[in-house]
Chains A and B, each alone.
Chain A
């Protein structure tokens, strides 16, 4: 409840936060209700290809005559599903690894940190591409897992340093003296303190996942099933959309959708950062 009140407070004072948050919310709503209100038809009318914007087709049509706006709406859910799922995995793994190693310390800490460092150094995108090309699965969950394979490392490191600094904090000592079990220490004492940081990184993880997954779809590496923004761009480019001006709307609509979502997420995350980091507000 406190969190909601706080959120409302920032949104009211910070314009960009409000807009960002509203846009993200809009996308989420579309993602949820999209497939129920819009259907991509199965008939193909090549004759209607690349029509300009009209009342029937506010964003025109694609290369086989289907309505672009519909495709956009329907295509929202898969993208957000995978993005959200991947971000959840990243945050869960990152936080658990970070908190545990930061708090326990010792040999386990050094060992796990070595592994984390390796994952941190390996360039994520090429690895994701290699794995995705090999594992042909259209399950969004599998895709989400693949996308998370290196992204958790950065968060784990950051959470660990927070946990380390908290470990020597007085209230932790007090809790320890009371004999609280590890579970409580982490859940009740440490977690709320790294909470805000994690929330912000959660949003940023979503942007990272969307960046990677759409990229994969455009390249045609992730298998094509159904409609989503990346696939729209992929199909468009394969059909030579780059070479005609008529296809502009078809090509740019999903791009705009992606950019608007990414920017909104980033602005909202930044507003959260300003909320939790009062130092920044003074600037």
Chain B
């Protein structure tokens, strides 16, 4: 058990480390090295003494611009682990971390709720599809679900905005909450937040629940044919018990592994969804940074999205042994349960 946790943890940390290294090299390998670019820009502006330029560049990117490469690398990695992602190039003085920290909760809110809702709907639909495989419902549902999950999520977002927000004015077009409310734990604010979150959540959910439904359908169908289900029925166990503890629990196992995958997908999709909805999450900030050539912010957002996904994966990995007892190594305790004499004992008796 400990070994399992340790292995997963190590794996997560190594992944993050690799991504950090990757981002370090990306900044430098970019055509038009942004550091040099920034330097040149600042020089052009004039009126700034050279060492102040260095200072500014350093504050923004977090590294000594002209030091040896390995030194820059160490500085960079060290900075990251201390939470220093540099400063925004466009808003000097504002740390990337503060921008990201303000943006991340919004993304987590929308992605989290969307995952939960699409998971729930998908599981229910999928189970129904598997339990009544020849029904009209199953056939229609299969078609609808296949259709919906093939549509790119940004197109759904655009349609939603167009129809519900712009034309019918049913929902707000952008922002996370109305400016008329004050942030804090008060009802108008919370309601406003929810109101603004509905469309983005809907956009994610419409496209993702199909995947869950189909996965659940496959899983339930497989389990329905399993020997232990038939054995349970032949022992006279009631249908409710069989559905709950024999079919349900086993069918859910593959779904848990899919959670991690789905989270990665949703975070990735956040770049589109948040942008169109003007929703100030981390995806929005990433695109914004790309548009305004704010490289340090862009890298920071990318790093944080990746770190968030890696930790989410780790979390699910650690959760998994709780639901599936087969993960923990089976061989060790087997011998002691058997009380009959072994061959050796018999031979030498």
Contacts and interface: CB of A to CB of B under 8 A. Distances in A.
Contact of B150 (A118, A207, A248): A207
Interface string B282-319: 01001100110000001101100110011001000000
A127 B290 contact: no
Q: Which secondary structure characterizes the binding site on chain B?
A: helix
Contacts of A124: 268
B120 interface: no
Interface stretch (B14-22, B66-74, B181-189): B14-22
Contacts of B158: 233, 237, 242, 251, 255
Contacts of B271: 125-126, 129, 219
Given A129-B271, A263-B150, A123 B306 contact: yes
Given A130-B299, A258-B152, A215 B272 contact: yes
B267 A123 contact: yes
Given A123-B268, A251-B162, A129 B287 contact: yes
Contacts of B166: 242-243
B129 to A, nearest CB: 10
17 contacts: A126-B283, A126-B302, A129-B271, A129-B287, A130-B299, A136-B31, A215-B152, A218-B154, A219-B271, A220-B291, A237-B158, A242-B158, A242-B162, A262-B150, A263-B146, A263-B150, A283-B133
A267 B30 contact: no
B248 interface: no
Interface of B: 11, 14-15, 18-19, 26, 30-31, 133, 146-147, 149-152, 154-155, 158-159, 161-162, 166-167, 221, 264-265, 267-269, 271-272, 275, 283, 286-287, 290-291, 298-299, 301-302, 305-306, 309-310, 313
A163 interface: no
Among B31, B158, B265, B269, max chain A CB count under 10 A is at B158
Given A130-B26, A136-B31, A219-B275, A125 B150 contact: no
Given A131-B26, A262-B151, A283-B221, A122 B306 contact: yes
A108 interface: no
B125 to A, nearest CB: 16
B146 A118 contact: no
Contacts of B154: 215, 218
A262 B152 contact: yes
Contacts of A32: none
Contacts of B287: 129, 219, 221
A207 B272 CA distance: 17
A123 B26 contact: no
A266 interface: yes
A221 B268 contact: no
A22 interface: no
Contact of B152 (A211, A251, A265): A211
B90 to A, nearest CB: 15
A272 B119 CA distance: 27
Given A123-B264, A134-B26, A267-B146, A129 B286 contact: yes
A231 interface: no
A-B pairs, top 3 by smallest CB distance, nearest first, are: A125-B268, A123-B268, A133-B290
Contacts of A118: 14-15, 18-19
A242 to B, nearest CB: 5
A214 interface: yes
B162 A259 contact: no
B305 A123 contact: yes
Nearest to B290: A133
Contacts of A43: none
Given A220-B291, A263-B147, A134 B31 contact: yes
B150 A259 contact: yes
Contacts of B162: 242, 248, 251
Given A124-B268, A125-B269, A245-B167, A130 B150 contact: no
A266 B147 CA distance: 8
Contacts of B306: 121-123, 126-127
A127 B19 CA distance: 10
A122 B21 CA distance: 13
Interface in A137-180: none
Among B19, B272, B291, max chain A CB count under 10 A is at B272
A270 B40 CA distance: 54
Nearest to B29: A134
A135 interface: yes
A14 interface: no
